[in-house]
Amino acid sequence: MNFLDEHDHRFAVFRKVLDARMKELLSKGVGTKVKQADPLLPEDEEKIWTNRVFGSHSSQALQYTVFFYNCKIFGLRAFDKHRNLECSQFEIGQDEQGKFIPFTGRLSKTYKGGLKHLQLTNKDLKHYCQEGEWCLADFYCTYLKALNNGGPFYRRPLADAGPVWVRYGEQELGVNKLKGLMKEITGKAGLKGNFTNHSGKRTCATQLYHAGIDEQEIMSWTGHRSETAVRKYKRSNSALQERVSEVLNPPNVKKIKCETTTLKTSECENIQDENLSSVCDSAVLSESEIATSRENAES
């Protein structure tokens, strides 16, 4: 039964009461803002790298790196997806286009297999990596080798031991640890905002939308099955809001303040000829004061 179906007259009174209550709460300011995870901007991501929160210089930093990009690139959000992740779901390859990371998904909320999902396909993605210092294929390769390319993907980082600076134990990361990894990453980088594990998936969808990527392709990366669900991520970020605000703001405050400034005749006596025009443009002078300043400058 659908209580909100307007064609079902059995629940007409219920819908009327619910509608009135929702309007009442809205008038009181309740529920006017939905708290959502913030996406990370490119400058935020760069700050995490430059602050050495990401990298392969330690076991913890390397795990932070692969965790974040599992969220951002492959759309992993819920802790259970991370909890059940296996090394066998990742590979490192290379072709004429460069190095790439293939990822094969397993059962998820939107794909449970069986007859009902016979027409659906499992998540099968291939991410091509950029060459350079921050080549993700190299980081994933180092991480998988440290795990002997098998078993659970997230394990407890161990301290450095001599020449081996990346080591992991056999113990898997706990649920609470996995739930708080994104907050831990952004906190160490000094970022401010509501960052959760959902931020990685939101970053993925937001950046793809702003780059003009086709909506169906975005859905294949995020794992959404409907346009309505994925369009929730299509919202402006703070950088775009700042640009809009600059357009809608009043004229430049500094310019207005400068134009309303007056100068005394005595303050213009030492003005040199090469500076006279620029000063007169940024100040309101009487004709007599300008004439006096010009005579003093010429003399």
- Which pLDDT score is estimated for 294? 60
Q: What is the mean pLDDT of the chain?
A: 77
Both 184 and 282 in a single domain? Answer: no
- Which pLDDT score is estimated for 279? 43
Locate all alpha helices (DSSP H) within 190-223, ordered by sequence: 198-210, 215-222
Number of domains present in the structure of the chain: 3
Model confidence, pTM:
0.64
Among 237, 289, 242, smallest CA distance to 266 is for 289
Both 101 and 220 in a single domain? Answer: yes
Half-sphere exposure of 259 (CA within 13 A, CB side): 6
Both 87 and 198 in a single domain? Answer: yes
Both 70 and 161 in a single domain? Answer: yes
Both 213 and 78 in a single domain? Answer: yes
Give the pLDDT confidence of 57-85 residue by residue, as tens digits.
Answer: 999 999 999 999 998 888 887 677 788 89
Instruction: With cut-offs at 50, 70 and 90, classify the pLDDT of residue 111.
Output: very low
CA 58 from centre of chain: 24
3-class state of residue 169 by DSSP:
strand
- Residue 244 covered by a domain: no
Residue appearing with tokens 């003009």: 212
- Residue 247 covered by a domain: no
Can you point out the beta strands (E) in 150-269? 155-157, 168-172
- Residue 242 covered by a domain: no
Both 123 and 150 in a single domain? Answer: yes
- Which pLDDT score is estimated for 278? 46
Both 107 and 220 in a single domain? Answer: yes
pLDDT greater than 50 at residue 206: yes
Q: What is the domain-level CATH number for residue 203?
A: 1.10.443.10
- Residue 246 covered by a domain: no
Both 210 and 67 in a single domain? Answer: yes
Both 220 and 137 in a single domain? Answer: yes
Q: Which of 213, 237, 261 is the last residue of a domain?
A: 237
What distance in Å separates the CA atoms of residue 22 and residue 144, rounded to the nearest whole number? 51
- Residue 68 covered by a domain: yes
- Residue 194 covered by a domain: yes
Both 185 and 140 in a single domain? Answer: yes
- Which pLDDT score is estimated for 37? 82
Both 178 and 223 in a single domain? Answer: yes
Owning domain of residue 1: 1-33
What distance in Å separates the CA atoms of residue 73 and residue 58, rounded to the nearest whole number? 22
pLDDT greater than 80 at residue 193: yes
Both 281 and 133 in a single domain? Answer: no
- Residue 262 covered by a domain: yes
Instruction: Give the H/E segment covering residue 103.
Output: strand 98-104
- Residue 104 covered by a domain: yes
